Amino acid sequence: MTAVLPRRRPAAAYRRARGSTGFLEWVAIHSIALALGLMFLLPLVFVCLTAVMSDRQALTAELWPRQWQWANFVTVFEKAPLLTYLGNSLLYSGVATAGMLVSSVPAAYALARLRWRGRNLAFLAVVAAMMLPPQVVAVPLYLLWARLDLTGTVWPLVIPYLLGDFFSIFLLRQFFLTIPRDYVDAARADGCSEAGVLLRVIVPMARPGIAAAALFSFLYTWNDYFGPLLYTAERPESWTLSVALASFRGMHRVEWNLTMAATVLVMLPALVLFLVAQKTFVKGITFTGVKG
């Protein structure tokens, strides 16, 4: 008997149910989403507008610049040796990211596509290290670098990356796992060495994953403040941009327009990098294995 009944078509019914209220609902939901999104933009707009105000107008009730003082972006370079700080930041982020790639890509391959005893244990250790709040090891590491007489430089921040970075190893391993084993086996069958498999098969195929890992580590190091504060604060020549920026506020009279101009300059590279590589970035996040 049931066979006689017409099959229910949920999809069609769903569409019908939307019917008349559909349009209003569409407008309402999109407006709410857009409004929420714009709220995230407000602090940024505030920073950018203040950056081009006169010192007198900054932090007043007048939120829109009376005259656009673009010269602020030039003045900050005269007020502080920003180029030195920029150099330090680039040294930290650039060398750390490059070093991370050289050391973490092979490790991630060994964790993803080679079989060996202790592999799971090693991976577990990497994940545990990745989750550890940095404060727990801050003191012993500081003493270690102090003993090596490297505090006051960016090297305590860079050197660990030459050995790898836990989060990057994790991310790369997750990515490498998505490359079908068959490709690896085929390359091996053709007599490719393991280094060859890695360089000629895995790396080209995992380019988006590697780009994401590089992007994350560049942004993380570029934005890092705790590390540079701990190690470089004692010597102003070694300051990164983030430490220099924070010191702006400690000065006897804060010129907020200039401080914000410097802030814009510091966040610009991060923002541009993000806009250029947005897809890679989002893909990398959803790839951190949170699914399932």
Partner 1 sequence: MRRRRPGVFAWLPPMVPTFLLLGLFFIGPILWAAYTAFTNAALSGPAARDPEFVGWENFRRALHDPNLANAVWLTVLFTFGSAVIGQNCLGMLLAVLMQRRNQVIRAIVGMLVVAAWVLPEIVAAFALYAFLSGDGTLNAVLTTLGMEGQNWLFTAPMLAIILGNVWRGTAFSMLIYQAALSDVDVELLEAAQVDGAGPLRRFWHVVLPIVRRTVMTNLMLITLQTIGVFTLIYVLTSGGPGTASQTLPLLMYDRAFEFGEIAYGTAIAFVLLGVGALFSAIYARALRAEV
Q: Which two tokens stand for residue 197?
A: 């498999």
Nearer Cβ to partner 1, position 71 or 143?
143
User: What is d(CA 202, CA 181) in angstroms, rounded to the nearest whole number?
Assistant: 10
Nearer Cβ to partner 1, position 5 or 36?
36
Type of residue found at 25: E
Least distance (Å) between residue 169 CB and partner 1? 6
Burial 226-237 (b: 16+ CB within 10 A, else e): ebbebbbeeeee
Least distance (Å) between residue 64 CB and partner 1? 12
Least distance (Å) between residue 151 CB and partner 1? 11
User: What is d(CA 267, CA 236) in angstroms, rounded to the nearest whole number?
Assistant: 20
Length of the chain: 292
Least distance (Å) between residue 260 CB and partner 1? 7
Least distance (Å) between residue 286 CB and partner 1? 4
User: What is d(CA 265, CA 261) in angstroms, rounded to the nearest whole number?
Assistant: 6
SS (H, E, C) 110-164: HHHHCCCCCHHHHHHHHHHHHHCCCHHHHHHHHHHHHHCCCCCCCHHHHHHHHHC
Residue (of 258, 263, 267, 265) closest to 76 by Cα position? 258
Who's near 284: CB < 8 A, 6+ residues apart?
171, 209, 212, 213, 215, 216
User: What is d(CA 2, CA 11) in angstroms, rounded to the nearest whole number?
Assistant: 21
Which helix H or strand E contains 86, and what residues bound it? helix 82-113
Least distance (Å) between residue 192 CB and partner 1? 7
Q: Is 277 in contact with 216 (CB distance < 8 Å)?
A: no
Least distance (Å) between residue 95 CB and partner 1? 15
Least distance (Å) between residue 18 CB and partner 1? 9
User: What is d(CA 158, CA 175) in angstroms, rounded to the nearest whole number?
Assistant: 25
